[in-house]
Structure 1
């Protein structure tokens, strides 16, 4: 049984808070500080972004974060080192990687998964992984051998047929994209968001966590009323961007922001 399933089945939380940030922005040692700060201030699951040169699902804030990160020397050794340090700070909190498929492929699927598991990671979100391919099947089976989850994204454009088919290789939770387009902060969400999340949960029978665009405590509180989790990335990355030249300032700003969101989620 996966650590993520245990969390949602425990009954300890009504709606999970899942923050995201890109590792390596502005450097890898600061990423350790940021990760620990986020864990200390209320993350139920922490999503760690592996920088990649073509982040097609991400908006300008995260694209800039990735660009800053890639100015540092990229290595999987560094990625796994940072992850281990964050994991060792609060081992009970599940860690998830958000990564594109290319880095996994070049590292070697089994090698990547073994090192990710050893670093404390319990699931993967892969925006560019087609769900109905041989690679998806292989990856799902390899993850299942390690009690790790493959977390699929579902968008407002996903058909009922596609959603039904996702059941075969989905576990942990579903990352529901609240709006069309790439990541980024938004003022409004579609009026039928609540109904779509309920439909998705009834159809696929996994926790549904909503992301893309959520940034304020008010938005988090509203959507947490009917989603099993709230995912926030761009707003967190903006805090890092605006304070990144001073790690203590960024740490304090992150702590304040994360605590406000956590307090808004029941």
Structure 2
């Protein structure tokens, strides 16, 4: 059983809190401390972004974070070092990478997965990976050999046929994109969000975690009433952006925000 499946089936949580931030923003050593702070204040799963030059699914806040990160010297050894340090701090919390396929291909699929698993990563979210390609099938098979999860994204535009087809290579949970467009904080969500999530859960038979736009405790509390998890990225990244030049201030602001969201999720 994968670590993510074990978490959702343990009965310990009603809805998981899944924070996200980009590794290397503003530098890799600060990322270690940000990761520890997030873990200490209530993350059930932590999603770590690998910086990439063309983050097509991300909005302006995360794009700027990626740009700041890439001003540092990028290396996979540094990515895995930082990940391993975060994992070492609290080994019972599953770590997930959000990355694009190009970095994985560049590193080599098997080498990337071996190092990711060794660093504590148990699943991948890959926004630009079509589920029905040879690359997707190969990656899924390699992940399955390592007891790691391939977490697919489903959007409001995904057809029933596509959703049914996703079942073949979906494990861990489904990342449900709550609205059209890229990542970013939003004030409102579609009125049929609850029904869409219920339909997905019945169709795919996996936990459904909602992301893209959630930022406030009220939003997290409301949506967690019917979603199996809440994913928050841009609001966290904004805290780092606004306070990153003052590390103690950024760390404190992160701790306070994560704790508020955690309390709001039952």
Q: TM-score, normalised by structure 1?
A: 1.00
CA apart distance, 1:85: 0.2
2-structure distance, mates of 1:212, 1:10: 26
CA apart distance, 1:247: 1.0
Tell me the SS of whatever aligns to 1:150.
strand
1-structure distance, mates of 2:175, 2:248: 31
Unpaired segments ≥5 residues, structure 2: none
CA apart distance, 1:98: 0.1
Per-residue CA deviation, residues 204-255 of structure 1 (Å, 9 max, x unaligned), is 0000000000000000000000000000000000000000001111100000
Match of 2:134 in 1: 134
2-structure distance, mates of 1:174, 1:133: 18
1-structure distance, mates of 2:83, 2:250: 19
Tell me the SS of whatever aligns to 1:112.
helix
* 1:161 and 2:161 correspond: yes
2-structure distance, mates of 1:108, 1:138: 12
2-structure distance, mates of 1:203, 1:136: 21
2-structure distance, mates of 1:30, 1:56: 25
Moved beyond 6 Å, runs of 4+: none
Supply the RMSD in Å over aligned alpha carbons: 0.2
Tell me the SS of whatever aligns to 1:256.
helix
Q: TM-score, normalised by structure 2?
A: 1.00
1-structure distance, mates of 2:263, 2:239: 18
Unpaired segments ≥5 residues, structure 1: none
Tell me the SS of whatever aligns to 2:54.
coil
Match of 2:38 in 1: 38
